[in-house]
Amino acid sequence: MGGGCVVAAVDGSVEALRAAEWAAREAARHGDSLRIVSVPVMPSLMQARKGSSSTLARTPRAAATRAIRAAVSQASKIAPGLSVDADVLNGAPALAVAHAGSGASMLVLGAPGSDIDSMILGSVAKYAAANARCPVVVVHDRRAAAPGEVVAGIRDPADCDQVLSFAFEEAAIRHARLVAVHAWYWFAPPGPVCGDPVIDPGLIPTGVLGRIVDVLTMWQRRYPAVKVTGDVVRGDPGHVLSGLTAQADLVVLGQQAGGHHPGSGGGPCLIQESVLDHIHGAVAFIPA
């Protein structure tokens, strides 16, 4: 990249602060600037019962400002000398955050925690991951593995250029190896059905792997220094990919929508929801 802007959305939570730290490292790694944003959110019903109307009117914007200050301070420690800008946004949180990523190198958000207030963070992350028109990275801090691997989730080898472009670039700049994974999930019918062809699920992954290898060969010509392998895994795509977030430095998936087809384990939206619900590390969702 270089000369672009990484946007991090924060809400004062620990999860969002960790995402801002991740965004600062990423911006410094790519030579980009960092923009930290926050959206005032109305207090929960429990908080509303405890405060006066005048106090509650000031609370959301003050909280957003505090969240930004904390994130800017932490980002400056993580990446000294990094150009950091900050803005308090207006509007519905999910829409405002998704729009803030317009034209950005990427939009970074924290994965939700287990408390009630983090449900807002979760809904914003899911909306942005599905609708923002820039790469969206959702970050969770719970990782056991050391960095050094980028995983690209490949749904269709004939339509994965955006995912592989982002994944190869990240692998190159991190000096990491790249693993392209296709997860295959197929339920055998309970019994033979007249007129239906017999499907051998063992034959299908072989063909998919061959097409993935062909695509990877083409891309590796552009990134000869990146070590890359392809793999086809039998299992639910959402479970397989969310599990890989615990092992890889970054998992890269496509954002594009589409319907269910045999062997997919569900449409992209279902897979995306599953990954976000069980994330352990960092996942990037790349728009078509």
- Reported as a single tens digit per residue, the pLDDT across 38-48 is 999 865 544 44
CATH superfamily entry for domain 149-286: HUPs (3.40.50.620)
Q: In the chain, which residues have pLDDT < 70?
A: 1-2, 42-58, 113-121, 142-147, 186-206, 256-269
Q: Which residues contact 112 (CB under 8 A, 6 or more apart)?
A: 15, 118, 119, 121, 122, 125
Both tokens of residue 73?
Answer: 């301070």
Q: Tell me what pLDDT residue 259 has.
A: 36
Partners of 85 in beta bridges: 35
| Separation between Cα atoms, residue 212 and residue 155, nearest integer Å | 10
- 137: how many CB neighbours lie within 10 A of its CB? 27
pTM for the whole structure = 0.84
Both tokens of residue 124?
Answer: 């914003």
pLDDT single digits (tens) 43-69: 554 444 444 555 444 688 899 999 999
Q: Tell me what pLDDT residue 260 has.
A: 34
CB under 8 Å, gap of 24 or more: what pairs does 65-73 form?
Answer: 65/38, 66/12, 67/10, 67/11, 67/12, 67/16, 67/38, 68/10, 68/36, 68/37, 68/38, 70/10, 70/12, 70/17, 71/8, 71/10, 71/16, 71/17, 71/20, 71/36, 71/38, 72/36
The yes/no answer on whether domain 5-139 falls in CATH 3.40.50.620 is yes
Same fold for the pair 5-139 and 149-286: yes
20: nearest Cα among 31, 32, 9: 9
Q: Tell me what pLDDT residue 49 has.
A: 46
Q: Tell me what pLDDT residue 187 has.
A: 56
User: Distance of alpha carbon 93 from its chain centroid, rounded?
Assistant: 18
The residue ranges of every structural domain in the chain are 5-139, 149-286
3-state DSSP assignment of residue 192? coil
Q: Tell me what pLDDT residue 121 has.
A: 65
Residue in the block written with tokens 């809400």: 11
Residue in the block written with tokens 């078509």: 288
Q: Tell me what pLDDT residue 193 has.
A: 53
